[in-house]
Structure 1
Amino acid sequence: MSYRRLAITGGYGFLGWHTACRLRALQLGEPVRLGRKDFTDSVRLAEALGGVDAVIHIAGVNRAESDEAVEQGNIDLATTLAAALRNVGKPVDVVFANSIQAQLDNPYGRGKAAAARVVKEATQELGGHFADLLLPNLFGEHGRPGYNSFVATFAHEVAAGRTPAVTGDREIELLHAQDAAGALIGALGRDVSEVVPGEAIGIGEVLRFFLETHEVYATRGEVPDISTPMRRNLFNTYRAAAFPDMWPLSPQVHGDNRGDLYETVRSHGGTGMAFMSTTLPGQKRGEHYHLHKVERFFVVKGEAQIELRRLLHDEVVTFRLSGNKPSFVDMPALWVHNIRNVGDTELITMFWADQLLDMDNPDQFPETIAQETTA
């Protein structure tokens, strides 16, 4: 089902950003991203929803000064949204990013369960479809340490050279934010209530992966074993936490009378491909982004400028690399990137990706660095 305009509540938060990124990748249009200020009252929210025919409701409260504030905060958000939908006065399909804790008798769970009932009643009253998706613990790129998940906290701590402690090690069911976003988008236009499954993994296992990754990746640029989706997604989470501070890296160069020899990529697992390119002065390559792909740019000869912009953000990160000191930079997932020859001679660049090119599903989406985002 296609929609003319789609809104995301909590659109500037962790899952909201991931969902907006995925909508762009699928070419489903620019969503109306709604934040805290849009929920000050139902009239203002109704104005923001003008022309919208579908809503992905992600906004929620998971931390507050008291348990009562957590429970009531989620109900209040749902009540405001329900009132706004009634003010709009037409059928609007709604997908609710609920939590598996809605099945439990705790403040957060009770608040989310009640929120689902409130929004469902208003949606169905107006003739819209309502999907209630119960999500497990989420993780992924650009989660807030100390807030979104223990995974985000571990990634930032380890990337900063610290070793956090694990208390009460146990298995936690985790779901990557892009997989959650895919489930939310896929539920549009459906009447359903279901649990979105994650993957169980030990808290200590996550920390050990980050520590092992930091040892081989941050110090030597070696790619760890990312042969499973969970390991790849954890790796991308770590890369987001380490970017851009750890770049660029320079490998050891071994020279003799034949020339120089240096290793560009060493992988500890999985498939991958490496390739070289030549770029004429003033020319540019790239201008795209990836949802999952791990990619490295290695400047071998010439002068290059690499630009990166986090999707749906305006700030551009720039690196200058020279073949006089062979260096490389990895492209984070969900960052638009390009490379330009800024020298007077031919630029020689080596590229590596963790997956073989699949023309039917290339995980490569065109966008320019200069493109501005909407506030």
Structure 2
Amino acid sequence: MAVQTIPLGDRYSGGSAAQSMSGASRVVHLAGVNRGTDDEVRDGNKRLAEQVADSITRAEDPPRSVVFANSTQSGNGSLYGAAKADASDTLRNAAEQVGASFHDVILPNLFGEHGVPFYNAVTATFSHLIANGERPSVDNDKELTLLHAQDAADVLLGTVDAAQQSGLEVQETVSGLLARLTAIDEVYRRGEIPDVASTFDRNLFNTFRSYTFPAQTPIGLTRHADARGSFFEIIRSHGGNGQSSFSTTVPGISRGDHFHRRKVERFTVLSGSATISLRKLFTDDVFEFRVTGDEPAAVDMPTMWTHKITNTGTDDLYTSFWSNDIFDPDAPDTIAEAV
């Protein structure tokens, strides 16, 4: 699936936007204004929707499907809700004008890796505070409808049918969410993997640990040695599937250069010397961790970070790999991307 971004706002160019949109199978409108003065919220959302609508109607080969990332606040009587409802109407009219299908996707409380804390996602704020050793409190306990951002993206892109969205959503109170994240932190600070048997728990763990990287990496492992040799634990998992594997790598060779969307993966060097390199998608900064079998340490691969391990020693490198899911060749969740 080829994806193209169209600049809006002050950078909008009707001609180039319409040209870029021509022949598209699906147009997704994500932009919006939810902070600012009343005029900025009202006029900003109106302007963005009108720019997308203008591109749709001007496209030589109009898109076959138009999708709007709407909000549960749409039509709730607030200024922002009214602005989102009006934007939806604008896009619906444009879609009808060119004979395209229109999908008004109502998104609840989204959470996901690297969300901005202290903005409009309580999961991001809680995760940030807990990962930094603070203990947040709940002032307004209410029930939330939570949807992982990657699930929302799948619905918006059409890789998951919109009718399945409600099945991906989870109901939880603010206090219940805080309790879940606190429990995850208590387990993960010991270097252990919390219960990730359910999809929601795995998504919540992946979200939380994105705020612990790189401060809590690598994870030190205790090595016990005596006359017989040495011993150390690689992982303790509190629930869910798991698969372990082992590799040897000759000097100078790398393994990896890929990222994962969902899976939890741990690298542990058993013997030899290596550098584990990680780069967050859409950035240029690379984090490197030098690890050896003599001082065992584990490095967990954050989701949406491309990574690789390179044998930097003179002997063969022995590495243990653990993942929370059983490898499925038809759905490997392994996307090639150079570090």
The answer to whether the superposition gives a TM-score over 0.5 is yes
RMSD (Å) for aligned C-alpha atoms: 2.0
1:248-289 per-position Cα deviation (integer Å, ceiling 9, x unaligned): 121122221111111110011111122221111011111211
Among 32, 50, 60, which residue is 2:4 paired with? 32
Contact 2:66/2:95 (<8 A) preserved: yes
In the TM superposition, residue 212 of structure 1 has moved relative to its aligned partner by: 1.7
Alignment of 1:142-153 (within 5 A): 142-153=114-125
Aligned mates of 1:160, 1:187 — CA distance in 2? 36
Q: Corresponding residue for 1:307?
A: 277
Instruction: Report deviation, 1:84.
Output: 3.0
Cα deviation digits, residues 180-238 of structure 1 (max 9, x gap): 011111189x9x9x7942211111121112222222212x2100111111111110011
Contact 2:18 2:58 in 1 (8 A): no
> 1:211 maps to what in 2?
182
Does the CA contact (< 8 Å) of 1:133 and 1:195 recur in 2? no
1:221 pairs with 2:191: yes
How far apart in 2 are the matches of 1:225 and 1:145?
24
Deviation of 1:33 (Å): 2.2
Distance 1:46 1:238, change over 3 A: farther
Pairing 1:187-336 to 2, within 5 Å after superposition:
196-197=165-166, 198-218=169-189, 220-336=190-306
Q: Which amino acid aligns with 1:212?
A: A
For the residues of structure 2 that align with 1:195 and 1:109, how far apart are their CA atoms? 24
Which residue does 1:19 correspond to in 2? none
- What is aligned with 1:165? 137
CA distance in 1, matches of 2:142, 2:20: 46
Query: 43, 68, 79: which is aligned to 2:50?
Result: 79
Correspondence for 1:175 among 142, 147, 153: 147
Distance 1:345 1:88, change over 3 A: same
Distance (whole Å) between structure 2 residues aligned to residue 65 and residue 324 of structure 1: 59
Unaligned runs of 5+ in 2: none
State which drifts further: 97-106 or 107-116.
97-106
Match of 1:50 among 5, 13, 19: 19
Residue by residue over 1:132-160, the C-alpha shift from the partner in whole angstroms, topping out at 9 and shown as x without a partner, is 11111111001100114000011111111
Of the candidates 96, 106, 116, which is equivalent to residue 78 of structure 2? Answer: 106
Paired residue for 1:131?
Answer: 103
**1:93-126 CA distances to partner (integer Å, 9 max, x unpaired)?**
3211111221422222111111010111122212
Q: Which of residues 90, 113, 124 is equivalent to 1:118? A: 90
Name the residue aligned to 2:69: 97
One-letter amino acid of the structure 2 residue matched with residue 47 of structure 1: S
Q: Which runs of 5+ in 1 are unaligned?
A: 1-27, 370-375
SS in 1 for 2:219: coil
Whole-angstrom distance in 1 between the partners of 2:164 and 2:315: 57
Whether contact under 8 Å (2:222, 2:296) holds in the other structure is no
The whole-number CA distance in structure 1 between the counterparts of 2:293 and 2:313 is 11
* Structure 1 Cα separation of the partners of residues 321 and 116 of structure 2: 30
Q: Which amino acid aligns with 2:241?
A: T
Verify the 8 A CA contact 1:299 1:350 in the aligned structure 2.
Answer: yes
**% same residue:** 41
Question: Would you say how many aligned residue pairs link Structure 1 and Structure 2?
Answer: 333
